[in-house]
Amino acid sequence: MSSSCPMPELRFIAVSGAAATTGQQRRLAYWDWLPQPGADAHRVVVCVHGLSRQGRDFDVLATALSAQARVIAVDVAGRGCSDWLADPMAYQVGTYATDVGTLIAHLRSNDPTLQIDWVGTSMGGLIGMALAAQPAVGIRRLVLNDVGPVIQWDALRRIGAYLGLNPSFASEQEAADYLRTISAGFGPHDREQWMALSRPMLRERDGRWWLHYDPALAVPIRALTHSVDDSVGRQAVADGEAALWALYDAISARTLLLRGADSDLLTRETARAMSERGPRAQYIEFPGVGHAPTLVAPDQVSAVADFLGQA
């Protein structure tokens, strides 16, 4: 994420379904890295971030992958430059999958032969599972970054504890330091790498720095994790596992599963099960990392690039 990385183009597409807070036609933002000379003009790699992140998380990976294909990194609804939703309870995987499905259809309208690969971190992986399970969408290769059909309850509670608090900060550095405290699972990064990951997450307003997402996206998570009876939320998560396994088992795309060795969201047992059923994911684990690998470290980048580059 150094200054030598090429800058992507910010683009927008109109999407339907859940309404925007503006009352206008809702727009989905995405960052577009055009393919380098010699790359396959008929391939697009769609990259989708985690719950509270945004598309610029993929700058390093996208720069590497643009030698193979065009790369598009989405700002999911309510994050980054995409519009916020009028109904917070619409911040759900179904909404996001419909939005990105619209984007894929738009891309294919210009090139019906287009091949689509997917890289999804955490929530982005769940969206990818939802789309890859639909043969009509036609996902060629699927990379799931530290996520699977079984999501650990304690990890959801941890995320729900800070999501949507809407803090502000006196400086960019203070904000970056805060993000580091709640993102310890991302693993080691030097100062330059961390600032590159942090800057797109921030917006300056009235002399203060704020996180660049709608705080209301926490509403569905908090409804689940902060119920009066803890067992209600746990049961809801457990009930969702069968549906997620059904999605996973329906995937025919070749699949790569990445896991931080210290992840509290994706267990080693679930990862192993994912390598034995459904698409039988190739499974790679990164030591010294929790939830989730940022795909900045060279070994993480090369794992994805090598997998997507296979014939």
Side by side, the strands of the sheet bearing 282-286 are 9-14, 27-33, 69-75, 40-48, 115-121, 139-145, 254-260, 282-286
Residue type, 138: G
Give the pLDDT confidence score for residue 5 in this predicted structure.
Answer: 58
Q: What is the DSSP letter of 187?
A: -
pLDDT tens-place string over residues 103-125: 999 999 989 999 999 999 999 99
Strands (DSSP E) found in the chain? 9-14, 27-33, 40-48, 69-75, 115-121, 139-145, 168-169, 202-205, 208-211, 254-260, 282-286
pLDDT tens-place string over residues 115-152: 999 999 999 999 999 999 999 999 999 999 999 999 88
pLDDT tens-place string over residues 26-59: 999 999 999 999 999 899 999 999 999 999 999 9
Q: Are 169 and 159 in contact (CB under 8 A)?
A: no
Tally of residues, the chain: 311
Give the pLDDT confidence score for residue 2 in this predicted structure.
Answer: 41
**Residue entry with tokens 């891309």:** 107
Q: Are 62 and 33 in contact (CB under 8 A)?
A: yes
223 or 128: which leads in pLDDT: 128
Give yes or no for residue 216 having a pLDDT over 80: yes
Model confidence, pTM: 0.94
CATH topology classification for 9-150+239-309: Rossmann fold (3.40.50)
**Residue entry with tokens 């939802």:** 130
The pair of structure tokens assigned to 246 is 């059904």
Give the pLDDT confidence score for residue 229 in this predicted structure.
Answer: 61
Give yes or no for residue 1 having a pLDDT over 80: no
Q: Which conformational region is residue 49 in: left (phi greater than 0), alpha (psi within -120 to 50 degrees), or beta?
A: beta
The continuous run of DSSP H or E covering 310 comes out as none
Residue 238: pLDDT band (50, 70, 90) is confident
d(CA 289, CA 259): 8
